Amino acid sequence: METPKVERNPKIVYVTTKTGEKYAMPSHASQQCYDDAVGFPFDQDDVIIASYPKSGTTWTLNIVRLICGMEIKPGSIIESEFPFLESSTRKRLDEHKSTHKPAFYHTHIPCDHFELNEKTKYIWVLRNPKDVCVSFYHHTKLFSNLYEYDHGTFDHYFKLFASGKTDYDSYFGHVKKWSEHANDKNVLLLLYEDMKVDTRSAIKQIANFLGKTYAARVSNPVTMETIFEKCSFREMSQTMDQFVSVQSQSTVIKDGKCPVIRRGVVGDWRSLMTREQAEIIDRMTTE
């Protein structure tokens, strides 16, 4: 009789929060980088793009950098203008802060881990948890050098996601904490599905939130159309070198698929998720 295969969980690491709890993060993270991130002194008008993984983070970063007219130098990636807080050293964050006014950052760490600053601006991106689950599964499989989950099945991953046992812990816990600040004056809540339906309106919304200079820039029809074209998934998929480091490209981009820029389709959860699994997520969302 064949022995049933026991699936191995994705490789993750745990850091200790300021309250003494364990918090799950991807394997490239460290306690030192986590401590540096949550304790970093952000300045007035700094901007943090926050989200649970696979909620439209890279897309939003690209929209913001186009609104601001940032150029990605050859051989550099978008993270050079938007340091990823949980994998950046304090030295890197200090250098970025000293050369960028305002400074932009991004993170997947929930807001309750930080001391929120009323003068710092936060863009929070929220996406349907069913699509997040499916996209996070593909991300975890394709980033095999980080997660070592090449042969993991969706059924196994779904159980981890629903129970909050992936890196960055529970999607629902993340949303619950950020929801408490959704109406704060310095927080802009973006719904991924709305951004897909009317991207131009989302561009205007982000520009208005960032300030008058940016709002005036996107009011130019030519500038707006340029931003709209360059932030499309079609365009982004043709310029993957801006979003995935050169060192990682040969490892993570396989058969034209990239864990950072994959499909971005609303409703893609139907490609893998059963009706019963969808009902579980729906119940958890309602609760």
108 part of the active site: yes
Other Cβ atoms less than 10 A from the Cβ of 2: the count is 4
Query: Which residues, listed in sequence order, are joined to residue 49 by a DSSP beta bridge?
Result: 106, 123
Q: Which of 108, 138, 139, 156 is catalytic?
A: 108
- Closest by CA position to 85, among listed 59, 113, 65: 113
Collapsed DSSP state (helix, strand, coil) of residue 271 = helix
CA dist 28 and 11 (Å) reads: 10
Where helices occur in the chain by DSSP H, the ranges are 31-38, 57-67, 90-99, 129-142, 144-147, 154-162, 171-179, 192-197, 199-210, 212-218, 221-230, 233-237, 246-252, 275-286
Residues belonging to the active site: 108
